[in-house]
Structure 1
Amino acid sequence: MDVSTSSLDQKPRERPFRESLLAMIGISFVIMLVGLDQTVVGTTLPTIVAELKGFDLYAWVATAYLLSSVVTVPIFGRLGDSYGRKPFLIASIVVFTAASALCGMAGNMLYLVLARALQGVGGGMLIGTVFACIPDLFPDPVVRLRWQAMASSAFGIANAVGPTLGGVMTEYLGWRSTFDVNVPIGLVSLIFVCKYLPHLRREERAGAGRIDWLGAVLLALLLGTLQLLVERLPQAGLGGSTLLLLVLAAMAGTVLWKWEQRHGNPLVPLDMFGNRTLGMLFALATLAGFAMFSLLFYAPLMFQGGFGMSPKDAGIAITPLVVASTIGSILNGRIMPRLRKPNAMLHLGFAMFACACLGVVLATRSTPPWLLMLAMAVGGLGLGFVLPNLTIFVQQMAGPARLGIATALVQSLRMVGAMLGTAMTGTLVNQLYVSAIRRKLEADHAMAWHERLSDPRALIDPLVQNTIVGEMTKSGHNGALLIEFSRSALVAAIHIGLIPTVLAAAYALWRSRSLPSFELERRR
């Protein structure tokens, strides 16, 4: 069969090895594009903040991307179910690649946040389509697990290269190059998808293509106000602005709930949440995203700003997390079909990730690098056991007719968790660090340096750090000692900020034990 862009299959079938391989190469390149962006940005973000001066917007670089993604993922999951995924996958690669180039041109933090929001639209389109392409190609879940190892490997390669590549490129080529690297990968992805990915399309259901735009607006309003509320609450308390945000979030949530019950093709299918097992799997996906992204974004800041590592060394320290996640996915695909109780892999994964998060919370500047890398490797293996299984279990529970929206919801809710996790962790870290710096400088009568030391770029950028130390020494202060205090304050703030990740992973482990036992049913 010709697998060009003109091909259109009404029903998925088992494909010859060559067709399957070429299609999966295209899918793997797209997944690599997403994975590389996630890990490179996390490693280079402290340096970006140091140059663009915007620590108060640190969390928004992640959450702007996540907020726009989480709304677009279910939209394109539904569109893919109705019209086939290939056209939307092609469009998403173009949007994501163009937005990556815009991120590399950012001259200030606000511009970067807006460009990341556009990139999130492309990323949401990608995630809403690419992960559902795999079950379209391989309806048999056992066969799918084997081919999914290839996609997991691509994601893992991108993740493995990402932190180190991000650190090296930031150190030698500047942080802008870490966004520009998406452009050639996006072009290669586009060529493979256009040429080799078949256009699979199921029979349309009445009204299936009708998009719930009001639901999308209400969902964005709900998540946006919740995010602002999480960030402002520690600063303003239950004052006028925070109460207004709370009321807006409650109103948006209530109207969304009522509207989705009435809409014929809701963006958020409430009946799927009404299913106890699916609802539990969706909750676990949210908790996994909460813990994973908080660790991925704030461990590099602790390593660079708190421990004094270079971007390259911080990238190397993070690398085992993403390398081991690939190994874990491959092992999972081999082991799980042989188990009488596949749920055991999910339990083991959450337990390992909880231990890894606890290890990072307990780490200090004197912790040997090999021990940090071991904690990251344990966490990576845990993620490799958790993420693919959540997707497989949800797909099996939802059935073929709702494959796209079910897969999209898993990814969306993981990003909702990530958005809330990074916002909460960012708020805790920012407030605790700034408060500690203020108290120390007030005690030392050195408040003239409060604004610059409140921004961790003083701990990351050697030039800024040396300037501050020199100025303080001339004024009779021990600048080097204050820098060391700032490092300790940042480490302590991140330790407290990451405690919720430990609790989230531990709670997910506890809740996962109440899931019914899954069995992988072969489909021919």
Structure 2
Amino acid sequence: MSPHKEAAHSSGQVLPFRESLMATLGICFVIMLVALDQTIVGTALPTIVAELKGFDLYAWVATSYLLTSVITVPIFGRLGDYFGRKPFLIASIIIFVIASMLCGMADSMLFLVLARGLQGIGGGMLVGTAFASAADLFPDPHIRLRWQIILSAAYGIATSVGPSLGGFLTQSLGWRWTFYVNLPVGLVSLFFAMRYIPHIRHHKNAGKIRLDWIGAVLISVSLGSLQLLVELFPKRGLTGGMLALLVVAIGAFYALWKWERRVEQPIVPFEMFKDPALSSLFLLSVLAGFSMFSMLMYAPLLFQGGFGMSPREAGLLITPLVACITVASIVNGRIVTRIPNPNMMMYVGFVLIALSCLGIVLSQRDTPTGFMLATMLAGGFGLGLVLPNLTVFAQQAASREHLGIATALLQSLRMIGGMLGTAVTGTLVTQMYGSGVERALESDHAAQWLAEFKDPEILVNHDIQSTLLAQMLQAGHNGSALLEAAREALVGAIHMGIALAVVSALIGLWMVRRVPLIRFTPNEKVETVLSE
């Protein structure tokens, strides 16, 4: 393709069919890279903690990734609007693959948390550019929805395979391969991105770009301090350090708001939040992320640590949750533009998410497998109706000059919701599990074993369990009964955290009514520049 070739969007897609197909496949591989990592790590995480120790950093394996992703998604979503998305896609794949290698080489929880933070930078760049690339290729929403079925299928395949593959790799080859598996997928993604995804830039932004670096720094400071506050406050209470973090977070958000209103090309155009459709969709994205990540991160720990399942069994049980995201996305894409009120799909989605979270809260060790499978199916189907519609609705509501940043902010806010969900649930698990175990040990006059029981890793690692039970038997204690008390404490703690996800989904259901009725009409003709 020759540089700076003119292309009109009047046909609804900027490339012929074959080129569109290959470019879409390239985006699919990029999406699969992120989706596979999101689901495969959750299944392996209890085993990782059991080997590397340091349960106090359990939530940080997820939140460090989410934090850096949250910061980079809007930054590179906006840069993609300016410079085109292809260069950032290529750079993000390289960063993601290198970070995956470092995660697999981790010899401590701290090293893993830091490597996951780097991985989150690459993941945020991927999310901030990949989803908006589809809108660049297919400006007409009707055509985009037809092609988006392929993207949904790719996401679903990766998320469906992720939990089972995570359990298989963890048991057969070791947890490190849950990160190393990103290498071949990353290489395929890199090839397709370089070879087939076009470099699209919009005329309006060409030649007069001023990067809003101050805005980028303020985003980083505000979100970073907010995450630290959410993570540390329940553990440390109202201290001088916590007050300082609160002041920094509020001050940075206020400074960001003031600065972005005066800068010529803001990285976060706050006028978008005045749009009732976009502002409602942004809030719904936070609520959906809260529920989604609470389930994805803590259901595996519930099944393995609380119910005594193996990583493979837990992975198979989680699979319907993620597999149904694909099925529902395909169903949604076929009917959402054909019904009088597309917003109804969001109502149904949030109802199913709430029922799924409630089902997890009601599940116990003796709960029939069929009930838990139905719970996972409902959650996946609900997410499959909510997540793609949030993206498509936002792209339809946003102006073309804000398309990239609107899509990126939607993904970023979903991650903020996930960050809050995993942090709050992680805090509840740490506090409630620790208190429950301490009470059980004290009642049996076995407080000297608190150090061995303080982390739920004892409930996952069967080798450590066998050694500990033998030692406690010699000391005259009923180790099996104490182990069972620890399981009950863990189950109760996770149930409390997932109960908050039920509340989040119900608030989302109530908030859907604020979304104005979305109409799917073809976009106006927009001139772009295609360049290699």
CA distance in 2, matches of 1:9, 1:99: 38
What CA distance in whole angstroms lies between the structure 2 residues aligned with 1:332 and 1:423? 31
Measure, in 1, the Cα distance between the counterparts of 2:129 and 2:425.
30
Residue in structure 2 matched with residue 304 of structure 1 by the alignment = 304
Q: Give how far 1:11 is off.
A: 4.7
Measure the CA separation in 2 of the matches of 1:210 and 1:459.
54
Q: Which amino acid aligns with 1:335?
A: I
Distance in 1 separating the partners of 2:464 and 2:167: 19
- Once residues 11 and 433 of structure 1 are traced to their aligned partners in structure 2, the CA distance between those partners, rounded to angstroms, is 59
Displacement of 1:137: 0.7
Q: Greater CA deviation, 385-394 or 201-210?
A: 201-210
User: Could you tell me which residue of structure 1 aligns to residue 473 of structure 2?
Assistant: 473
Q: Which residue of 2 aligns with 1:324?
A: 324
1:71 matched to 2:48: no
Q: Out of 512-521 and 110-119, give the one that drifted further.
A: 512-521
- CA–CA distance in structure 1, aligned partners of residues 56 and 207 of structure 2: 44
Q: CA 1:207–1:226 in 2, change beyond 3 Å: closer, same or farther?
A: farther
Shift of 1:514: 2.4
Match of 2:529?
Answer: none
Alignment partner, residue 112 of structure 2: 112
| Counterpart for residue 380 of structure 2 | 380
Correspondence 1:457 to 2:453: no
User: 2:293 touches 2:421 (CA, 8 Å); kept in 1?
Assistant: yes
Report what 2:528 is aligned to.
Answer: none
Partner SS for 1:366: coil
Separation of aligned partners in 2, 1:144 and 1:64: 33
Question: Structure 1 pair 107/287, CA: closer, same or farther in 2 (3 Å)?
Answer: same
Aligned to 1:498: 498
Counterparts of 1:480-491 in structure 2, within 5 Å, are 480-491=480-491
Label 1:109 to 1:182 Cα distance change in 2 as closer, same or farther (>3 A).
same
Shift of 1:305: 0.2
Aligned 1:189-208 pairs, distance under 5 A: 189-205=189-205
* Residues 428 and 497 in structure 1, CA contact (< 8 A), matched pair in contact too: yes
Offset, 1:196? 1.2
Residue 241 of structure 1: CA displacement?
2.8
Inter-partner Cα distance in structure 1 for 2:430 and 2:339: 45
Q: 1:207 to 1:477 in 2, by over 3 A?
A: farther
Scaled by the length of structure 2, the TM-score of the pair is 0.95
Partners of 1:10 and 1:218 lie apart in 2 by: 37
| Contact 1:28/1:151, CA 8 A, preserved across alignment | yes
Give runs of aligned pairs for residues 369-448 of structure 1, distance below 5 A. Answer: 369-448=369-448
2:187 paired with 1:187:
yes
Cα displacement (A) at 1:206: 7.2
User: Counterparts of 1:80-479 in structure 2 under 5 Å?
Assistant: 80-205=80-205, 209-479=209-479
Q: Find the aligned partners of 2:5 and 2:89 in 1 and give their Cα distance.
A: 15
Q: CA deviation at 1:270?
A: 1.1
Alignment CA distance shift 1:8-1:298 (3 Å): farther
**Residue identity matched to 1:191:** F
Structure 2 Cα separation of the partners of residues 148 and 140 of structure 1: 12
Contact 2:276–2:516 (CA under 8 A) maintained in structure 1? no
- In the alignment, which residue of structure 2 is the partner of 1:50? 50
- Following the alignment from structure 2 to structure 1, what is the Cα–Cα distance between the partners of residues 282 and 467? 49
* Paired letter, 1:217: V
CA-to-aligned-CA distance 1:300-348 (integer Å, 9 cap, x gap): 0000000000000000000001110000000000011110100000111
CA distance in 2, matches of 1:198, 1:244: 46
Separation in structure 1 between the aligned mates of residue 418 and residue 110 of structure 2, nearest angstrom: 21
Structure 1 residue 224 displacement after superposition = 2.3
CA distance in 1, matches of 2:270, 2:208: 16
**1:250-299 deviation line (CA, Å, top 9, x unaligned):** 22222222222222222222111122221111000111111101110000
Structure 1 partner of 2:37: 37
Conserved in 2, the CA contact under 8 Å of 1:82 and 1:208? no
Asked whether the 8 Å contact 1:78–1:209 carries over to 2, the reply is no
What TM-score does the superposition give when structure 1 sets the normalisation length? Answer: 0.97
Amino acid at match of 2:404: G
Check conservation: 1:8, 1:199, Cα contact below 8 A.
no
> Which residue type is aligned with residue 202 of structure 1?
H
* Cα distance in 2, alignment partners of residues 147 and 345 from structure 1: 19
2-side partners of 1:60 and 1:265: how far apart? 34
Instruction: Provide the C-alpha distance between the structure 2 equivalents of 1:9 and 1:446, rounded to a whole number of angstroms.
Output: 76
* Root mean square deviation, CA, Å: 1.5
- State the SS of the aligned residue for 2:205: coil
The 3-state SS of whatever aligns with 1:513 is: helix
| Unpaired segments ≥5 residues, structure 2 | 526-532
For residues 378 and 451 of structure 1, the distance between their equivalents in structure 2, rounded to whole angstroms, comes to: 39
The alignment-based identity, stated in percent, is 58
Q: Shift of residue 9 of structure 1?
A: 5.3
SS of equivalent to 1:200: strand
**By how many angstroms is 1:77 displaced?**
1.0
> How far apart, CA to CA, are the structure 1 residues paired with 2:433 and 2:449?
15
C-alpha distance in 2 between matches for 1:418 and 1:231: 13
| Preserved contact between residue 358 and residue 499 of structure 1 (Cα < 8 Å) | yes
How far apart in 1 are the matches of 2:89 and 2:20?
17
Distance 1:302 1:266 in 2: 43
After superposition, give the CA deviation of every residue in 1:461-516 in whole Å (9 maximum; x if it has no partner). 00011111111111111001111111111000000011111111110010102221
Partner residue of 2:530?
none
How far did 1:83 drift? 1.4
Conserved? CA contact 2:69–2:125, under 8 Å: yes
| TM-superposition CA deviations, 1:381-411 (whole Å, max 9, x none) | 1111101111111111112221111111111
Q: Residue type matched to 2:494 in 1?
A: I
> What is the match of residue 511 of structure 1?
511
Query: For 1:175 and 1:9, how far apart are their aligned partners in 2?
Result: 49
Task: Find the residue that maps to 1:330 and give its secondary structure.
Answer: helix
Q: Hey, what's the Cα distance between the residues in 1 that align with 2:444 and 2:288?
A: 43
Paired amino acid for 1:358:
L
| Distance in structure 2 (CA, Å) of the matches to 1:175 and 1:379 | 26
Unaligned 5+ runs, structure 1: none
Question: C-alpha offsets along residues 160-192 of structure 1, whole Å, 9 cap, x if unaligned?
Answer: 000000000001100000000000000001111
2:75 partner amino acid: I
Give the CA deviation at 1:377: 0.7
Task: Using the TM superposition, give the Cα deviation of residue 225 of structure 1 relative to its aligned residue in structure 2, in angstroms.
Answer: 2.2
Distance 1:136 1:470 in 2: 63
Tell me how far apart the structure 2 counterparts of residues 211 and 495 of structure 1 sit (CA, whole Å). 45
Offset at 1:437?
0.9
C-alpha separation between the residues in 2 aligned to 1:80 and 1:11? 19
User: What displacement does 1:15 show?
Assistant: 3.0
